[in-house]
Amino acid sequence: MDRSKGIAYCGLACAVCGENANCAGCRNDGCANREWCKNRNCCIEKGIAGCWECDTFPCSGTMLDKPRIRAFASFIKLRGEEFLLDCLEKNERAGTQYHHPGKLTGDYDVPETAEGIFHMIEFGRPPR
């Protein structure tokens, strides 16, 4: 985990993403796809740290349409970025994978509800 990469404007966890080792993280202008990203552009226009700070959160037609991303942003709104990063770090040490090798999905994509993803974030395993 590289906490300096932080969390993307949409809620993606750049800190645990293994997709591009050279990426500095979304909010550090590291993402190669940043120019077309609706979430990034909107947050910069509004001067907010992420979608979770927006008065119209959650919107649609953006990265927030993906259940994991929406759940992560909702988790941040409720519990804060640092707590999310603490949970992700603890879970990563315990073997929870943000991305499975060669894929953009991982263990946090298994739960089918936001509540299930919240549980996974806090406890590192899906609810029973």
Q: Is residue 65 part of a domain?
A: yes
Q: Is residue 89 part of a domain?
A: yes
> Is residue 20 within 8 Å of residue 104, measured between CB atoms?
no
- What is the extent of the structural domain holding 109? 3-123
* pLDDT tens for each residue of the chain, 128 residues long: 999 999 999 999 999 987 777 888 888 877 777 788 899 999 999 999 999 999 999 999 999 999 999 999 999 999 999 999 999 999 999 999 998 888 888 999 999 999 999 999 999 876 67
- CA dist 51 and 72 (Å) reads 11
Q: Is residue 51 part of a domain?
A: yes
Output the pLDDT for position 25: 87
- CA dist 41 and 17 (Å) reads 21
Single out the residue of 15, 76, 20 nearest to residue 43, CA to CA: 76
Number of domains composing the chain: 1
Output the pLDDT for position 71: 96
> Is residue 114 within 8 Å of residue 68, measured between CB atoms?
no
Output the pLDDT for position 76: 97
- CA dist 51 and 23 (Å) reads 21
Output the pLDDT for position 19: 78
Q: Is residue 128 part of a domain?
A: no
